[in-house]
Amino acid sequence: MNSLSDRMQMAVRRLTGRGTLNEKDIDEMMREVRLSLLEADVNFRVVRNFTNSLREKALGEKILKGLNPGQQVVKIVHEELKTVMGSEVEGINYFDRGLTIIMVVGLQGSGKTTSIGKLAVHTRKVDNKKPFIIAADVYRPAAIDQLKTIGNEIGVFVYDEGQKDPRKIVKNGIEEAKRQGADLVIIDTAGRLHIDEEMMQELVDLKKITTPNEILLTVDAMTGQDAANICKSFHDQLTATGAILTKLDGDTRGGAALSIREVSGIPIKFMSSGEKMDTFEVFHPERMASRILGMGDVLTLIERAEEAIDEDEAMSMMEKLANDTFNYNDLLKQFKMIKRMGSLSRIMGFIPGMSGMKEATENIDDKQFYQMEVLIKSMTEQERKDTTLIDKSASRRKRVAAGAGMKVADLNKLREALRQQKVMMKQMMKMDEDDLAKAQKNPQQLMQQPKQKRRKGKGKGKGNFRYR
């Protein structure tokens, strides 16, 4: 999604903040938007409809003659992106009572098996369901073993009968699910390297047998506009109810997300990235539009934080930061909370203004958290509680670094991380509403040192400073 995001941001940034706009300005932006979409492998028909609608709205009288026309154009681009991807969030259609059945379909290599595990975790955690998985992909080597391994990892029962007729497996599996008291069945179906008649007929048969509430299609985001064509082919024969967009963490250009809904008519219901079972979320068109335009995704970040962070512990840390008693034990707890939210580079992508710091966010190594943990654990309990002990003693620093198998320079980075936490908290406590609004646009300023000011009168010019 990065290259699309970069180009789109560049296209609209030229207009942001301008007091006036003319038709030539709009046409220049349209040319950049059109190129960014085509390079992102968005379907040509989608690009044409998108840019025509965008140009018509951007050239409206209220925009060109109104206040802050540049900002209004950005708002229009955001709305159009949201419309293309589907204006509303669409969740799973559950039965109020009884068994809900979800068929998951997709080509081989689309991330289908992993997505099933993630979907099971999500429905259990978010919707309070008791999921039950049926292994009916009997053709791909080791597909059943992979699914059972995932099932063991997440604590969800996987029903299989080996490489038998999938129709019989599914019938028997549903009966077993009822006996076990499950309220949600997720069926892993046949995957192929390409769509063929035999594969589609089997899926049609399974649909007749199970009458599923949902037929979810896993789509590899890296396939660009081809993903939309694959969706259309499945939809024409199965009437799929939704798509799961996978591998969004890869080198994807973003074409799939903008093409699927328009070309196939299938709404994107979920998005997935990475191998971990918690890297799965409901697809919000509005939030994705914000990410593409570099506006961040604060709502998703808040949701992640609420899931991962204990509220009492967080309040305790805030109090310690405010009282300047925050220590290495607290920093260790903070690292663990952040790791539960996902990779740090991904978290930073949710923060408004941070997406522009592309190189910084991509080069963040989550292993640094592990190294800092090792350094903290190399300290004595007293050193962890009283941070001044390490600061005042070079011999302690050498001992701690040696005990962790690292250099003193690595320990100094840890000390700096602790110091920055305290600086940021002090800055935030001095801020009013206007300052906080500025910080949201430029989060880096929270990390800036308070400005220093020379004293007037006595001592002037002798290096006596005080914080303003």
Q: Examine the domain organization and report whether 69 and 152 are in the same domain.
A: no
Contact status, residue 314 vs residue 402, Cβ threshold 8 Å: no
Query: Tokens 């206040």, residue?
Result: 67
Handedness of CA 83, 87, 92, 96 (dihedral sign): negative
Q: Which helix (H) or strand (E) holds 453?
A: strand 452-454
- The rounded distance, in Å, linking the Cα atoms of 277 and 313 is 25
Contact status, residue 207 vs residue 237, Cβ threshold 8 Å: no
Please identify, among 39, 61, 85, the residue that sits at the C-terminal boundary of a domain: 85
pLDDT score for 174: 95
Query: Angle at CA 12, nearest 5°, toward 7 and 15?
Result: 145
Query: SS3 for 184?
Result: strand
Cβ neighbours, 10 Å, residue 89:
14
Contact status, residue 222 vs residue 251, Cβ threshold 8 Å: yes
- The rounded distance, in Å, linking the Cα atoms of 334 and 417 is 12
Query: SS3 for 402?
Result: helix
Indicate the angle between helix axes 23-39 and 69-85, nearest 10 degrees: 30
pLDDT score for 347: 59
Q: Examine the domain organization and report whether 275 and 335 are in the same domain.
A: no
Domains in the chain, number: 3
- The rounded distance, in Å, linking the Cα atoms of 241 and 185 is 16
242 is a domain residue: yes
- CATH number of the domain encompassing residue 39: 1.20.120.140
465 is a domain residue: no
Please identify, among 241, 264, 295, the residue that sits at the C-terminal boundary of a domain: 295
pLDDT score for 466: 38
- CATH number of the domain encompassing residue 326: 1.10.260.30
Please identify, among 295, 323, 355, the residue that sits at the C-terminal boundary of a domain: 295
Q: Examine the domain organization and report whether 61 and 121 are in the same domain.
A: no
pLDDT score for 417: 82
Report the chain (468 residues): mean pLDDT per 10 consecutive residues: 67 67 81 83 86 83 62 80 83 88 90 93 92 92 89 95 92 95 94 80 93 92 79 88 81 69 87 82 82 61 60 69 79 74 57 48 59 90 92 93 92 86 68 56 49 46 39
Single out the residue of 349, 247, 224 nearest to residue 290, CA to CA.
Answer: 349
pLDDT score for 301: 57
What six digits make up the tokens of 141?
């080597």
416 is a domain residue: yes
Q: Examine the domain organization and report whether 262 and 119 are in the same domain.
A: yes
Those residues whose C-beta lies under 8 Å from the C-beta of residue 36, and which sit 6 or more positions away, are: 4, 7, 8, 10, 11
pLDDT score for 357: 45
Q: Examine the domain organization and report whether 320 and 442 are in the same domain.
A: yes
Q: Examine the domain organization and report whether 147 and 191 are in the same domain.
A: yes
Q: Examine the domain organization and report whether 386 and 442 are in the same domain.
A: yes
What six digits make up the tokens of 360?
């910084």
pLDDT score for 45: 86
Those residues whose C-beta lies under 8 Å from the C-beta of residue 212, and which sit 6 or more positions away, are: 101, 102, 103, 187
- The rounded distance, in Å, linking the Cα atoms of 303 and 273 is 17
90 is a domain residue: no
Q: Examine the domain organization and report whether 231 and 344 are in the same domain.
A: no
pLDDT tens-digit readout, 21-57? 778 888 888 888 888 888 878 888 888 888 888 888 8
Q: Examine the domain organization and report whether 367 and 261 are in the same domain.
A: no
pLDDT score for 46: 87
424 is a domain residue: yes
What six digits make up the tokens of 420?
């920055």
458 is a domain residue: no
- The rounded distance, in Å, linking the Cα atoms of 329 and 309 is 16
> Which structural domain, as residue segments, surrounds residue 30?
2-85
User: Which ranges in 378-407 belong to alpha helices (H)?
Assistant: 381-385, 388-392, 394-403
Q: Examine the domain organization and report whether 277 and 374 are in the same domain.
A: no
Q: Examine the domain organization and report whether 361 and 226 are in the same domain.
A: no
- CATH number of the domain encompassing residue 143: 3.40.50.300
User: Which ranges in 127-225 belong to alpha helices (H)?
Assistant: 143-154, 166-179, 197-210
37 is a domain residue: yes
Q: Examine the domain organization and report whether 311 and 257 are in the same domain.
A: no
Query: SS3 for 54?
Result: helix
395 is a domain residue: yes
pLDDT score for 302: 56
Single out the residue of 115, 124, 121, 123 nearest to residue 93, CA to CA.
Answer: 123
